[in-house]
Amino acid sequence: MSFGWEGEKARLVPIDRERHLENCYRWLNDPAVTEYLAIGDFPLSRLAETEFFDRMEKASETDIVFAIETLNGKHIGMSGIHQISFRHGRGTTGTFIGDKDFWNKGFGTDSARIRTKYAFEVVGLRLLVSGVYGSNERSIAMLKRAGYIEVGRIPRYWWKRGKWEDEVLMVAERP
């Protein structure tokens, strides 16, 4: 697919169940991918993932979800803006790269940069908020590289696989 919002390495494209659903179903049942995600501790059925696609494929005032592809058109992850409020000009962002061969190669950073530019310049939002588990150092580093700053921590917010995790609040504000 050669359309979508393009950065230096990645492209954000509309979700398409034929191209993206099976990968998401597989990735979100991989404990390594969901190690720091709020989902992943209970089996995710194909039906549940299909229902997610059913919801996200429809036009929505509150959610914008893209698939992340390489510039060659390989699907590697997902990127979203959720809980959008036009009144307050804000949204909550989330990213995962499901194909682990593509971790630590800058695709997360590039996809977040594209999403921020899109959110600010196209959608008209002014504030993006992301909540990250305290021990997810890769995600915190990635968001900082993409222009987010840490504004606070809620201690022991999440119970995840045998321990408590802080919620790290990261924000990107339109200049």
Q: Does 105 bind ligand COA (CB under 6 A)?
A: yes
Q: If binding is defined by CB under 6 A, does position 95 make contact with ligand COA?
A: yes
**Where in the chain does DSSP place strands (E)?**
5-6, 10-14, 64-70, 75-85, 90-97, 127-133, 149-160, 163-173
* Site pattern 141..160 for ligand COA (x: CB under 6 A): xx--x---------------
Question: Closest CB to ligand COA belongs to which residue?
Answer: 108
CA of 40: how far to CAs of 19, 63, 128, in Å? 22, 21, 24
Give the integer Cα–Cα distance in Å for 1 and 23.
16
**List 29, 127, 136, 166, residue binding ligand COA (CB under 6 A):** 136
| Binding flags for ligand COA, 36-75, as an x/- string (CB under 6 A) | xx--------------------------------------
Residue 10 as a binder of ligand COA (CB under 6 A): the answer is: no
Residues 5 and 11: beta-carbon distance below 8 Å: yes
Pairing of strands 75-85, 64-70: antiparallel
Q: Does 169 bind ligand COA (CB under 6 A)?
A: no
| 12 scored as a contact of ligand COA (CB under 6 A) | no
Instruction: Determine if 93 is a binding residue for ligand COA (CB under 6 A).
Output: no
Q: Which two tokens stand for residue 37?
A: 């995600």
Selection from 19, 128, 119 nearest residue 68 by Cα = 19
Considering the complex, what minimum distance in angstroms separates the CB of residue 76 from ligand COA? 9
- Give the span between the Cα atoms of 62 and 175, in whole angstroms: 23
103 binds ligand COA (CB under 6 A): yes
Q: Binding ligand COA by CB under 6 A: which of 4, 89, 106, 147? A: 106
Tell whether residue 138 is a contact of ligand COA (CB under 6 A): yes
Name beta bridge partners: 13.
67
Positions touching ligand COA (CB under 6 A) are 33, 36-37, 77, 95-97, 103-109, 132, 136-139, 141-142, 145
